Amino acid sequence: MSGVQEGPYAGGCQCGAVRFSVESFGRSSICHCRMCQKAFGGIGGILVTAKGLTWTRGEPKIFQSSNRAERGFCDACGTPLTFGAGSSVDVAVCALDDPSVAPPIVQLAPEFRIPWADDLPDLPGRPGSEAHKAAAYYASIVSHQHPDHDTDHWPPEGKAS
């Protein structure tokens, strides 16, 4: 992916309290800095520059993570949603309804990359002997997560968020 990708694209938090629309994307990246690792609770932050960002349900709570940047997240479920520096705002790629539309094209702060992260693609999957047990476990899960598409309201009537 290079250049601006045309949308619109939608996304939101895990619980559905905050939803957004983006007209188009700029550059998508993965940032390995320690602040992104902590903000995302993972190996880094995967973000894409959002052009024409509109909040369609709720708005994120803002945390001023440094003297130069602020991060938006859902106050109800904690999902990381935005990174803002100056007039530019990026959205979390995995908060998009379809994260495959914004694959990272550059790594930022690679000097902070966690060394074992390079080995993740080589890790084995669950052993075959556990497959049946895992399939039954996953089949028993009833998700309370917002679906990966816009809804008129959330949570559904009669269900707590």
- Tell me the average pLDDT across 61-86: 96
pTM confidence score: 0.87
Give pLDDT, residue 33.
97
pLDDT in tens, 92-128: 999 999 999 999 999 999 999 999 999 999 999 888 8
% of the chain residues with pLDDT over 90: 75
- Tell me the average pLDDT across 40-52: 97
**Residue 1 banded pLDDT, cuts 50, 70, 90:** very low
HSE-CB for 78 with a 13 A CA cutoff: 4
Residue 138: CB partners within 8 Å, gap ≥ 6?
A: none
- Tell me the average pLDDT across 30-58: 97
Residue 134: CB partners within 8 Å, gap ≥ 6?
A: 126
Question: Would you kindly state where each structural domain of the chain is located, as residue ranges?
Answer: 5-115
Lowest pLDDT segment from 22-26, 52-56, 143-147, 157-161: 157-161
Beta-strand relationship, 45-57 and 61-63: unpaired
**Residue 6 banded pLDDT, cuts 50, 70, 90:** confident
At 116 the three-state DSSP class reads helix
Higher pLDDT, 148 or 75: 75
The residues pairing with 48 across neighbouring beta strands, listed in sequence order, are 28, 91
Topology (CATH) of 5-115: 2.170.150
Compute the mean pLDDT over every residue in the chain, rounded to the nearest whole number: 91
How far is Cα 161 from Cα 159, in angstroms, rounded to an integer? 7
Give pLDDT, residue 102.
96
Which H or E run includes 131?
A: helix 128-139
pLDDT in tens, 121-130: 999 988 888 8
Do 71 and 79 form a contact (C-beta atoms < 8 A)? no
- Characterize 16-38 residue by residue with b for buried, 16 or more Cβ atoms within 10 angstroms of its Cβ, and e for exposed: bbbbbbbeebebbbbbbbebbbe
